[in-house]
Amino acid sequence: MDLNFSDQERAFQSEVQTFLAENLPDDIAAKVRLGDGLTKDMMDLWHSILNAKGWLATTWPKAFGGPGWTPVQKHIFEEECCRAYAPRIVPFGLNMLGPVLQKFGTAEQQESILPRILSGEDWWCQGYSEPGAGSDLASLKTRAIREGDAYIINGQKTWTTLGQHANKIFCLVRTSSEGKPQEGISFVLVDLDTPGIEMRPIRLIEGGHEVNEVFFTDVRVPVSNLVGEENKGWTIAKFLLSHERTGIAGVGFSMQALEEVKVLAHTIRRGAKRLIDDPLFAARLAKVEIDLEAMKITNLRMLFQAQKQGAPGPETSMLKIKGTVINQELRDLARRALGPLAAPFPGHVTDGNILFGPADTAFNAARYFNNRKTSIFGGSNEIQRNILTKTMLEL
Amino acid sequence: MDFNLTEDRRMVLDTLSRYLKDQYPVEHRIKVAYDAPFHDPSKWSELAELGLFSALAKESVGGFGGTGFDIAVIFEALGKALNCEPVLPLVMASRLLGSAGLDQQALLEGGHSYAVAISEPDAPYELTDISCTATSDHRLNGRKSTIYGGQTAQTFLVAAKAGSTVNLYQVDANDAEVISYGLIDGGGAAEVLLDDTQAELIVENAAHALSDAMNAGIVALCAEAVGLMTVSYEMTADYLRQRKQFGRPIGSFQALQHRAVDMLTEIEQARSITIKAAAELDGKQASRYASMAKNLIGRASRLVAEEAIQLHGGIAMTWEYPVSHFAKRLIMLDHQLGDADHHLSKVMDDLASV
């Protein structure tokens, strides 16, 4: 057993570190660190910087313009990005639709769509969940009825992340009500400029806007926008969800949060003492650090397994559950550490960092509330437990 | 033994609950709580006219209630309505003005509002940690931080150190620099910057008076949390019954059922410790039971808030669905008058001193 990266991997790691030090714009890293939302321009800029280096589509094989990395390289890249406070890559086109088209798309779809994802000409968003189809995604009701060479789509999608920036959406739609619910679903690409589409913002618990509802009324989409076969969309959906699960432990983000909380605990004072001198707070922090240390190894063990087997197994559900719980615990500590200083509404804190507490803390309570989403989205932690129950318990 | 409310308290509770339900629904609260002045001044006047504030003050200071049970009953109702009116500082101010022997008719009639300025950036919870100082001619220096209700206060009751003793001073809001802002869970607060600010000394050696006011505030917050948790649970249970996935109500899944009843058990425990703290409020061990209550409430509130969100799923992450606002208030309540760890350490100190 050897817990160290190979020489080659270490060389790659320092290459990534150098690249980030030289190319990640300071103002973007500062905003990521603060936990404030990035503008579309900032996200586009970061994507274009990575694309110029050939490091944007980390999950794509070389043939399609990806770097052709091993899972370990991908892991190193993600961890270094977190350490440097680089923005998360917006995953919908790059990590979701890209791999789907590479596996299920026609040559024409691959040629016309993939380059536009890399260049940033197209911003894709996801039309999966519906008000009545969340955990039970297969019960989705948005209908696509075939009329000549077009589908006519009617229905509603929700939780469409960053849809406000998108010009395209990939959707799961019902093309048949025969058989099991899973058997009548198709995967369709839709241009958001098509008449009959309305996108409405959803305001989140902390006041921010990242998700949307999308309404479809008699939206006419060419049949050539179907990906894979009609009524076989569920296979694609499952494939895509397994891609959504890579990096799901969010170890890098938790390492960021741990460092932030450590700094806070050493900076914040409770009278004559530092917060870290309070044994109760120190115990909370030490416990979660222990959990994270174990999680890092669990993550690497599963990564190693995936590298050998070629695909992540159901154990990744454990990464999702434990990874989100650790991250949420750290966000709880970051809020808790501030005491009453965490209370101001971030939007009201104009002179925030100087007036209300240590630097970079204006969004700590907001981030705690916003991060409650992580145990709900991408297959809730309850659904992950169901997956584990079904595959591991052998009842 | 009798855990029923007295007739008088029942009447106060009924009147208040009816008023809040009819005149101050949660939708209205969510609207006013996030825009300056972060509460509804016309509703504040109406609450005063209902006699609510007098019910929170002792007879000795011109009220007709003011015991731990009066405070608890009223604040549970306020919690159920997700109140954002600055009633908490009123309860604390009433106790402090009582200790100072000052007239408080204007306070109880809702005509003059006070905020209690104890916490500081480096002394959020512990009175003896404060560093705000007073000169011998009562000029104050320092910064008071996150003063709840400070955005509307005309007078601040300020704890400051004169030498090694903590005294209580009265400061006209116009004489200090007051920076008002809204809170992430609704309602408002202020930073109070004191720079050689002229004050009036109202209680010398005020440690006891301040801890009495803080204990009353803790009982109020705990009862508010019980109200908030009760509604959060009810909304969650309703959702478990109504929301269908996989062709059946999600409440039919045992994994969720058990978590819902765990919430309920914690809420009952929270209610019980609040009753205990209320009963002891004017006794010798008030601080000990207040600390026990605030610790348990801190733990239970977090569990209930987080589980209410998780059991709902995405819908509870939205601004539009009220559970999110109840959850925010439940979590942020732990940041007022000492968090769960602060009060746990108090109970630990007690254990060590026996």
Determine the pLDDT at residue B242. Answer: 98
Q: Does residue B148 fall inside a structural domain?
A: yes
Q: Domain end: B108, B132, B150, which one?
A: B108
Kindly tell me if the per-residue pLDDT of A310 is higher than 80. Answer: no
Q: Which residues of B touch A335 (CB under 8 A)?
A: 331
Query: Nearest-CA residue of chain A relative to B330?
Result: A369
User: Residue type for B214, please?
Assistant: M
CATH node for A122-231: 2.40.110.10
| Residues B123 and B95 reside in one and the same domain | no
**Percentage of chain B surpassing pLDDT 90?**
97
* pLDDT per position as a tens digit, B256-288: 999 999 999 999 999 999 999 999 999 999 999
* pLDDT per position as a tens digit, B107-121: 999 999 999 999 999
* pLDDT per position as a tens digit, A103-121: 999 999 999 999 999 999 9
* pLDDT per position as a tens digit, B16-27: 999 999 999 999
Determine the pLDDT at residue B328. Answer: 98
| Residues B212 and B193 reside in one and the same domain | no
Determine the pLDDT at residue A355. Answer: 59
Average pLDDT over residues A166-194: 97
| Residues B38 and B48 reside in one and the same domain | yes
Task: Classify each residue of A210-233 as buried b or exposed e, where b means 16 or more C-beta atoms within 10 Å of its C-beta.
Answer: bbbbbbbeebebeeebbbbebbbb
Which DSSP helix (H) or strand (E) runs through B241? Answer: helix B207-242
| Residues B133 and B198 reside in one and the same domain | yes
Counting Cβ atoms within 10 Å, is residue A150 exposed (0-12), middle (13-18) or buried (19+)? Answer: middle
Kindly tell me if the per-residue pLDDT of A1 is higher than 60. Answer: yes
| Residues B183 and B124 reside in one and the same domain | yes
CA A119 to chain centre: 20
> Is residue A259 annotated as part of the catalytic site, yes or no?
no
Determine the pLDDT at residue A354. Answer: 43
DSSP B123: B
Determine the pLDDT at residue A245. Answer: 63
Q: How far is CA A134 from CA A118, A140, A154, in A?
A: 30, 8, 18
Q: For residue B130, give how far its alpha carbon lies from the nearest alpha carbon of chain A (Å).
A: 7
Determine the pLDDT at residue A246. Answer: 61
Number of neighbouring beta carbons within 10 Å of residue B260: 17
Cα B11 from Cα B18, distance rounded (Å): 11
Which DSSP helix (H) or strand (E) runs through A212? Answer: strand A211-222
Average pLDDT over residues A324-339: 97
Domain A245-392 superfamily per CATH:
Butyryl-CoA Dehydrogenase, subunit A, domain 3 (1.20.140.10)
Show the domain range for B342.
208-353
Query: Nearest-CA residue of chain B relative to A381?
Result: B310
**Percentage of chain A surpassing pLDDT 90?**
82
Q: Which of B128, B129, B184, B307 to mutate to test the interface with A (most CBs of A within 10 A)?
A: B184
Q: For residue A296, give how far its alpha carbon lies from the nearest alpha carbon of chain B (Å).
A: 25
What angle (nearest 5°) sits at the alpha carbon of residue B95, between those of residues B91 and B99?
Answer: 165
| Residues B242 and B141 reside in one and the same domain | no
Across the interface, do A369 and B328 touch by the CB < 8 Å criterion? yes
Q: Which of A126, A270, A284 to mutate to test the interface with B (most CBs of B within 10 A)?
A: A270
* pLDDT per position as a tens digit, B148-187: 999 999 999 999 999 999 999 999 999 999 999 999 999 9
Residues of chain A with CATH 2.40.110.10: 122-231
Query: Nearest-CA residue of chain A relative to B329?
Result: A343
| Residues B82 and B215 reside in one and the same domain | no
Here the CATH number for the domain that contains residue B287 is 1.20.140.10
Q: For residue B335, give how far its alpha carbon lies from the nearest alpha carbon of chain A (Å).
A: 5
3-state SS assignment for residue A257 = helix
ipTM exceeding 0.85, yes/no: yes
Determine the pLDDT at residue B5. Answer: 86
Determine the pLDDT at residue A347. Answer: 63
Q: Does residue B93 fall inside a structural domain?
A: yes
Of A130, A213, A244, A329, the catalytic one is A244
Q: Does residue B2 fall inside a structural domain?
A: no
Angle between helices B68-80 and B207-242 (to 10 degrees): 40
Across the interface, do B306 and A372 touch by the CB < 8 Å criterion? yes
Determine the pLDDT at residue A353. Answer: 41
**Number of structural domains chain B divides into:** 3
| Residues B72 and B155 reside in one and the same domain | no
- Count interface pairs A-B at CB distance under 8 A: 138
Across the interface, do A381 and B310 touch by the CB < 8 Å criterion? yes
- At B245, is the pLDDT very low, low, confident or very high (cuts 50, 70, 90)? very high
Q: Which residues of B touch A158 (CB under 8 A)?
A: 314
Between residues A132 and A314, the one the model is more confident about: A132
| Residues B53 and B140 reside in one and the same domain | no
Comparing C-alpha atoms, which of A210, A215, A211 is closest to residue A190? A215
Here the CATH number for the domain that contains residue B159 is 2.40.110.10
- At A242, is the pLDDT very low, low, confident or very high (cuts 50, 70, 90)? confident
| Residues B273 and B324 reside in one and the same domain | yes
Across the interface, do A365 and B332 touch by the CB < 8 Å criterion? yes
Comparing C-alpha atoms, which of A343, A369, A371, A347 is closest to residue A357? A343
* pLDDT per position as a tens digit, B309-338: 999 999 999 999 999 999 999 999 999 999
Determine the pLDDT at residue A356. Answer: 62
| Residues B186 and B235 reside in one and the same domain | no
Kindly tell me if the per-residue pLDDT of B81 is higher than 80. Answer: yes
Q: Does residue B176 fall inside a structural domain?
A: yes
Across the interface, do B126 and A272 touch by the CB < 8 Å criterion? no
Average pLDDT over residues B21-37: 97
Determine the pLDDT at residue A189. Answer: 98
Determine the pLDDT at residue B3. Answer: 85
SS (H, E, C) B136-201: CCCEEEEEEEEEECCCCCCEEEEEEEECCEEEEEEEEHHHCEEEEEEECCCCEEEEEEEEEEECEE
* pLDDT per position as a tens digit, B289-317: 999 999 999 999 999 999 999 999 999 99
Q: For residue B128, give how far its alpha carbon lies from the nearest alpha carbon of chain A (Å).
A: 8
Here the CATH number for the domain that contains residue B63 is 1.10.540.10
Q: Domain end: B89, B108, B127, which one?
A: B108
Residues of chain A with CATH 1.20.140.10: 245-392
* Contact in structure between B145 and B119 (CB atoms under 8 Å): yes
Query: Nearest-CA residue of chain B relative to A135?
Result: B245
| Residues B144 and B278 reside in one and the same domain | no
Give me chain B's average pLDDT, please.
97
Across the interface, do B313 and A135 touch by the CB < 8 Å criterion? yes
**Measured between CB atoms, which of A205, A278, A382 is closest to B317?**
A205
Cα A189 from Cα A112, distance rounded (Å): 13
**Measured between CB atoms, which of A207, A336, A341 is closest to B146?**
A341
Q: Which residues of A touch B34 (CB under 8 A)?
A: 207, 345
Average pLDDT over residues B213-240: 98
Determine the pLDDT at residue A313. Answer: 78
Determine the pLDDT at residue A348. Answer: 62
Q: Which of A325, A336, A338, A395 to mutate to test the interface with B (most CBs of B within 10 A)?
A: A336
Query: Nearest-CA residue of chain B relative to A380?
Result: B313
Residues in chain B: 354
Q: Domain end: B93, B108, B123, which one?
A: B108
- At A352, is the pLDDT very low, low, confident or very high (cuts 50, 70, 90)? very low
Across the interface, do A376 and B317 touch by the CB < 8 Å criterion? yes
